[in-house]
Amino acid sequence: MQRTTFAVAATVLCSALALPACNPAVKSTKVTIEVPAPIVPAERLCPIMGEPVTELDEVAYFESYPIYCKGRDSARQFASLEYSKRARYGADQVLPQKGIANLTCPITGETLTAGAAAVVYQGRTIGFASPADASQFRALKPERQERTISQWQESEAEAVRGSGASA
């Protein structure tokens, strides 16, 4: 009886010692999802009237994002616009809610609208003109992503210098 108990204990011990050699340590398989933090704007303007608004004013929606308007008539007018116009007019309020600070797409150079797609890249939220542009960026290898962002930042800096020189 003692022999079988000893044999079983020895087998379990050998198995426990051998398992790590057969199965090397695996990096964590824990999925991490980076959620963009919204940017709190200093001032919101009604997309129809251009007047300052607060969270107490009337609300219209772009997709699931609230757009604050000055009065019920402005909210109704905003809601009745076609999608592309609502996307353009609502960008000033929706982009900060998505955590997007840039105004142009790194891939296409287009001006961002409220329909922009957000991608968290190295802890920073970057907006892309469309979900297709965001997917194209995500599909790039890391070194190509880095190059794309660097080129985009250089072109942004040149545009700022150019507008500063003409002012």
Residue 37 has pLDDT above 90, yes or no: no
CA 58, CA 64: separation in Å to the nearest integer?
A: 15
pLDDT of residue 38: 74
Q: Which domain holds residue 139?
A: 34-159
Residue 68 lies in a domain: yes
3-state secondary structure of 99: coil
Residue 125 has pLDDT above 60, yes or no: yes
Determine contact, residues 128/116, Cβ cutoff 8 Å.
yes
Residue 20 lies in a domain: no
Number of domains in the chain: 1
pLDDT of residue 22: 55
DSSP 140: S
Read off the pLDDT of residues 1-30 as tens digits, 9 standing for 90 and up: 556 665 555 565 556 555 555 555 556 667
Residue 88 has pLDDT above 50, yes or no: yes
More confident residue, 28 or 94: 94
Residue 94 lies in a domain: yes
Residue 17 lies in a domain: no
